[in-house]
């Protein structure tokens, strides 16, 4: 009969992407891992791995067992946590993936506050320029900024966030202010590469009109702080989240462009694998994230102060 340890064993194989890596992670020999896999297949009477593939690949049945098994393990862990919580309070592990800049500036402080309040919860936070590309099964919570295209993850709203097109005052003086988004195609731009998105295609809306512009970046980086600095030094135009450029705009290092044209919003959200049955530690952490930006996100206050001075 299949048990939870069998499912966890298969999930470790899928996450490790090789039997050798699985052996290292479990502290076993490669032959022991292979033997256990064969015993599991014999017990179920089905083949779970495709031996003919060049790379590690599950059969349809093996993939189904992994996908359904995640939910079973999650439900089992939630049950155990509820039992522990009745006696010990908040316990368990919380794994978080967040973008570099936003993670450093806003998520890390919530992690610190959460840890002080709930010292029995073990937290692992990973910062990445591609949080959606990494295997979502490895994380309880993924902090994402921007549009969520095709995904089986559940979105939980955290804070409002707009995108702003901007450049340095010196750049605007040298090149002039663009009057229409199509003018950007003839100007040097700087792009942020993240989540394998099409970073050269910029979209704008004005009332019911939508315009897509193919830019020609002269600089590209996977670090938002770097491209903001390049823009402040007058090297090109950037499209960035207001949380990232609000201070630079308020200090006059950057100026907004095309105020009558709006790029799509890029709200801050938390992504989970499921909507119901989340562990209490995950729900509590999301609430603390949301509370940090109420009643107003700090970047909105900075931009509001800037507007009042103009």
pLDDT digits (tens, 9 = 90+) for 24-73: 888 888 888 888 888 888 888 888 888 776 777 888 888 888 888 888 87
- Residue 123 included in any domain: yes
Give the predicted TM-score (pTM) of the model: 0.71
Instruction: Indicate whether 182 and 248 sit together in one domain.
Output: yes
pLDDT digits (tens, 9 = 90+) for 221-236: 989 999 999 999 999 9
Give CA–CA dist 10/33, Å, rounded.
Answer: 10
Instruction: Indicate whether 242 and 106 sit together in one domain.
Output: no
DSSP string for 91-106: -EEEEEEEEHHHIIII
In this structure, what CATH number is given to the domain that contains residue 45? Answer: 1.10.10.10
Rounded mean pLDDT, 260-285: 89
- Total number of domains in the chain: 3
pLDDT of residue 310: 60
- Residue 261 included in any domain: no
Exposure on the CB side of residue 177, measured as CA atoms within 13 A: 10
Give CA–CA dist 43/40, Å, rounded.
Answer: 5
Indicate if the pLDDT at residue 87 is higher than 60. no
Cβ atoms of 66 and 11 closer than 8 Å:
yes
Instruction: Indicate whether 108 and 249 sit together in one domain.
Output: no
Give CA–CA dist 13/15, Å, rounded.
Answer: 6
pLDDT of residue 53: 64
DSSP character for 107? I
Range of the domain at 209: 163-256
**CA 57 → CA 3, 37, 38, 53, distances in Å?**
22, 13, 15, 7
Instruction: Indicate whether 175 and 246 sit together in one domain.
Output: yes
């Amino acid at each position: 009969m299949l048990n939870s340890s069998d499912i966890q064993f298969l999930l470790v194989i899928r996450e490790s992407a090789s039997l050798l890596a699985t052996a290292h992670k479990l502290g076993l020999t490669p032959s022991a891992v292979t033997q256990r896999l064969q015993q599991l297949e014999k017990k179920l009477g089905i083949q779970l791995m495709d031996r003919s593939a060049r790379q590690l690949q599950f059969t349809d049945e093996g993939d189904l067992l992994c996908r359904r098994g995640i939910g079973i393990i999650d439900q089992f862990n939630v049950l155990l946590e509820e039992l522990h919580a009745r006696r010990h309070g908040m316990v368990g592990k919380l794994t978080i993936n967040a973008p570099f800049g936003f993670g450093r500036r806003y998520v890390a402080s919530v992690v610190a506050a959460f840890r002080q309040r709930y010292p029995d919860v073990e937290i692992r936070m990973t910062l990445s320029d591609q949080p959606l590309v990494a295997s979502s099964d490895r994380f309880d919570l993924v902090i994402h900024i921007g549009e969520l295209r095709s995904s089986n993850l559940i979105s939980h709203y955290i804070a409002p966030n707009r995108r702003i097109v901007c450049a340095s005052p010196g750049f605007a003086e040298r090149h002039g202010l663009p009057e229409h988004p199509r003018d950007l195609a003839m100007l040097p731009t700087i792009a942020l590469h993240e989540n394998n998105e099409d970073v050269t295609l910029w979209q704008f809306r004005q009332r019911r009109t939508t315009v897509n512009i193919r830019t020609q970046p002269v600089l590209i980086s996977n670090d938002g702080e770097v491209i903001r600095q390049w823009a402040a030094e007058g090297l090109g135009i950037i499209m960035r989240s207001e949380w990232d450029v609000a201070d630079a705009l308020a200090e006059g290092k950057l100026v907004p462009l095309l105020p009558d044209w709006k790029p799509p919003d890029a709200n801050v959200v938390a992504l989970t694998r499921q909507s119901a049955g989340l562990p209490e530690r995950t729900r509590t952490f999301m609430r603390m994230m949301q509370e940090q930006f109420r009643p107003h996100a700090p970047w909105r206050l900075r931009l509001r102060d800037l507007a009042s001075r103009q």
